């Protein structure tokens, strides 16, 4: 079967299990997940969906999210969209209109109470601005790392300037892309947001004085671009309400760029520049003076932040640090949370020798876990079990403390891009003490996270009640179980299909 056929087969297997094309209201994807908007959540057959070989797990948020893994999701999503578009437009079958209304109201109320607080919605919008930039950050970051290696080795001197231009071009104009995405996300005209944000990186701002200081191109960085584009959206919306339609095409874009541009030059660039500098200085101070403690706290709390949706607040901070220093020193520490999950999963595998379902889940999810894709282990293993999720966080804390300790000792470990984690972060590592030492510290942090997560989970992750409930033979069919309890031989017949454990 060709790759295209395989991806279409995965999409075709998923579609009926989420209620069919008539139950789909939106289709999107991020780095690892297929995100679906659903008309009726009750039509989704969760257990059958999780049993599909290509599905690593499911997550419920403002959308129904199916974890397929990096690379796979980008190929399956277009096939899924095509199948939805090809299906006849018909409403999904439901028991009755009253049942549908009641189910929909309950689901919406629960989801709203859980996820749609104003603060979380704001963070989600900010994340939506930066997430589309991640592929370019990764690609340019890897090229920058390769270029640095070639320069250090003295190889291909005629090629390294070209690689430097390729790696740096996107970062030089990242403010424009941030402005474009911001205007799009907040309901404005994207190109106007990009036009206003372009002022931040225009070389001519070096001739402008604001607050007694001469501005410098790029001052304020992505935060300035974000603020400028948000302001442009509000100016544009005001113009749309008050400018006559006959003049709208001329007046609205002119006023939007002019007003937002003046405020950006004489206010936002200076303020955002001070905030950006404060972020960089605080990150450096924190790791130099309290690296071990800060790493322990950040590595231990990152997964709970992810569960609450608060990790999205870190995305603009990472981007600001990359823009300022060439790398973010926070991401390698936060990546240790995934190492704790891997160690915890290996301990669960050994502690539940009779639970074939959980052990199969762990074996299939561990390769992705080593590469930094933690959702299958989190949602399929540690979180449903409860205490192992906590001990996994302990493993992440020790790994983060290890990396933070070396920052205190003078060896900073950074990442030139955001998105990857685990072993996938090795090509993006950067530091101030040479690549070899940087890799060694990061690898030591991973090993510490694996070991601490394993030990904490093996010895303290299970109580007697949890072992009694989950250390059972999940591959035994119901007739066999009843016969065994009665001391008789079960009747002959075909072997029952193994059922996944209900976690």
Kindly compute the dihedral angle of the four CA atoms of residues 306, 421, 413, 146, in this order, to the nearest 10 degrees: -150
User: Residue written as tokens 């005629």?
Assistant: 158
Contacts of range 70-75, beta carbons closer than 8 Å, 24 or more positions apart: 70/31, 70/32, 70/371, 70/373, 72/7, 72/10, 73/29, 73/30, 73/31, 73/32, 73/33, 73/34, 74/29, 75/3, 75/7
Rounded to 5 degrees, what are φ and ψ at 37? -90, 130
DSSP string, 333-357: HHTHHHHHHHHHHHHHHHH-TT-HH
Nearest-angstrom CA–CA distance, 299 and 295 = 6
Q: Is the CB of residue 221 less than 8 Å from the CB of residue 197?
A: no
Would you please indicate which residues are annotated as catalytic (active-site) residues? Answer: 30
The DSSP code for 494 is: P
Nearest to 408 by CA among 499, 492, 240, 289: 289
Report the phi/psi class of residue 130: left, alpha or beta, with left for phi > 0 and alpha for psi in -120 to 50.
Answer: alpha
């Amino acid at each position: 079967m060709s790759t295209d056929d395989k991806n279409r087969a995965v999409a075709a297997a998923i579609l009926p299990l989420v209620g069919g094309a008539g139950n789909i209201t939106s289709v999107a994807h991020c780095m690892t997940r297929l995100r679906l908007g659903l008309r009726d959540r009750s039509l989704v057959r969760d257990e059958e969906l999780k049993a599909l070989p290509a599905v690593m797990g499911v997550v419920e948020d403002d959308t129904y999210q199916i974890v397929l893994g990096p690379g796979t999701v980008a190929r399956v999503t277009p096939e899924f969209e095509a199948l939805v578009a090809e299906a006849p437009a018909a409403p999904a079958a439901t028991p009755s209109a009253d049942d549908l209304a009641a189910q929909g109201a309950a689901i919406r109320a629960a989801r709203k109470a859980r996820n749609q607080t104003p603060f979380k919605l704001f963070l989600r919008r900010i994340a939506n601005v930066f997430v589309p930039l991640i592929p370019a950050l990764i690609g340019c970051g890897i090229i920058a790392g390769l270029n640095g290696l070639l320069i250090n080795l003295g190889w291909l001197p005629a090629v390294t300037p070209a690689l430097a231009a390729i790696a740096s071009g996107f970062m030089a104009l990242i403010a424009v892309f941030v402005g474009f995405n911001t205007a799009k996300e907040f309901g404005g005209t994207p190109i106007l947001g990009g036009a206003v944000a372009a002022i931040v990186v225009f070389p001519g701002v070096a001739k402008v004085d604001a607050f007694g200081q001469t501005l410098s191109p790029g001052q304020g960085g992505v935060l300035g671009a974000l603020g400028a584009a948000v302001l442009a959206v509000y100016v544009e919306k005001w113009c749309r309400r008050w400018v006559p339609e006959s003049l709208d095409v001329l007046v609205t874009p002119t006023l939007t760029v002019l007003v937002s541009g003046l405020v950006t030059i004489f206010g936002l660039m200076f303020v955002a520049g001070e905030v950006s500098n404060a972020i960089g200085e605080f990150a450096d101070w924190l790791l130099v003076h309290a690296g071990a403690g800060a790493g322990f706290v950040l590595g231990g709390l990152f997964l709970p932040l992810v569960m609450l949706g608060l990790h999205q607040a870190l995305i603009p901070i990472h981007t600001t640090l990359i823009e300022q220093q060439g790398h973010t020193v926070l991401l390698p520490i936060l990546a240790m949370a995934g190492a704790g999950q891997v160690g915890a999963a290996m301990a669960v595998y050994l502690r539940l020798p009779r639970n074939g379902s959980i052990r199969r889940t762990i074996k299939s999810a561990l390769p992705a876990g080593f590469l930094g894709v933690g959702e299958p282990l989190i949602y399929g293993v540690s979180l449903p079990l409860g205490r192992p999720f906590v001990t996994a966080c302990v493993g992440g804390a020790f790994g983060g403390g290890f990396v933070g300790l070396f920052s205190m000792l003078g060896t900073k470990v950074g990442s030139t891009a955001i998105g990857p984690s685990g072993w996938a972060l090795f090509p993006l590592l950067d530091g101030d003490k040479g690549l070899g030492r940087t890799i060694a510290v990061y690898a030591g942090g991973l090993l510490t996270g694996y070991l601490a997560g394993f030990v904490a989970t093996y010895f303290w992750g299970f109580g007697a009640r949890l072992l009694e409930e989950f250390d059972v033979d999940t591959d035994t069919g119901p007739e066999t179980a009843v016969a065994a309890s009665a001391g008789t031989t079960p009747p002959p017949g075909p072997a029952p299909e193994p059922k996944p454990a209900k976690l």
